[in-house]
Structure 1
Amino acid sequence: MTHAQTQDESRFDRGQRALSRIDGSAGEKVVASLADIAPDFARYVIEFPFGDIYCRPDLGLRDREIATIAALTALGNAAPQLKVHLEAGLNVGLSRDEIVEIMMQMAVYAGFPAALNGLFAAKEVFAARDEQQASGEAT
């Protein structure tokens, strides 16, 4: 058991806490969108990635989001998930410039189309965040 995991805290509770901290409302929306079609899968999303993996001690949340953004960019066809994790990256301290550099790095290993798709997703996320901030909404 890691320092982030206690016997008193369930995988689900730990995952809920991590999901809220990392993804905020975007992650909660993803989980809620599964409620009517696959509630068990929604629970798995909370327990495994967030309750087990994200809570492991040897990488920080910022590092985990760099890896996740890079992987989703490299896949090239995961724009909805990438946008959620771009928000998460910003939430855990990545700068916009760092995110752009991650995408550019992926051009070397995943190709220009994947990097372009990632950059366009980032552009949308940044614009939406700017719009929210301009209107005074919480991010």
Structure 2
Amino acid sequence: MTPPSDQGQRSVGDVAPTLAELTDRVLFDRIWQDPSLSPRDRSLATVSALIALGRTEQLPFHLQHAIDNGLSHDELATLITHLAFYAGWPAAASAVPRLRELARNAT
């Protein structure tokens, strides 16, 4: 069994405790742990949605989570390129600096 998440508490708990509780108990402990999709597939879907919606402030955490869930840097770069055609060039171009930051921090 995966230990309970405290990501929500750490990121927003001081300002929005109910959002933190929902993030930890529902999103990360229930949704992300549902075996119907693999963590890798969930990361692909999440990163794709964040890029398509222009939510780049959430990308650093989820790009790292995607790496932890088995995606490679090259696969994420390919995903960003693929999304340029479906989500728009600016959305993809805005994601590239976040992926670059991840690569720099890994070295």
TM over 0.5: yes
Aligned to 1:92: 69
Kindly provide the CA deviation profile for residues 47-99 of structure 1, in whole angstroms up to 9, marking residues without a partner as x: 121122111112100110011111101112x1221110000011111100000
Aligned-residue identity in percent: 34
Correspondence 1:113 to 2:69? no
CA distance in 2, matches of 1:64, 1:90: 12
1:57 counterpart SS class: coil
Deviation at 1:31, TM superposition (A): 3.1
Q: Distance in 2 between matches of 1:88 and 1:44?
A: 19
Code of the residue aligned with 1:126 in structure 2: it is A
- 1:86-116 CA-partner distances (Å, limit 9, x unpaired): 0001111110000001111110111100000
Do the aligned residues in 2 keep the contact of 1:15 with 1:52 (CA within 8 Å)?
no
Provide closer, same or farther for how the CA distance between residues 33 and 50 of structure 1 changes in structure 2, counting only shifts above 3 A: closer
Q: What pairs with 1:10-49 in structure 2 (closer than 5 Å)?
A: 15-16=4-5, 28=7, 31-49=9-27
Q: Structure 1 CA distance, aligned partners of 2:28 and 2:37? A: 13
Alpha-carbon separation, structure 1, partners of 2:9 and 2:63: 17
Deviations 1:26-50 (A, max 9, x none): xx3x531312211121111011211
Rg larger in structure: 1
Cα displacement (A) at 1:15: 4.3
Amino acid at match of 1:87: Q
TM superposition shift of 1:119: 1.2
CA RMSD across the alignment: 1.8
1:52 aligns with 2:30: yes
Q: What are structure 1's unaligned runs of at least 5 residues?
A: 5-12, 20-27, 131-139
Kindly provide the amino acid, as one letter, of the partner of residue 107 in structure 1. A
| Partner in structure 1 of residue 41 of structure 2 | 63
How many residue pairs get aligned? The number is 107
Whole-angstrom CA distance in 1 between matches of 2:3 and 2:29: 5
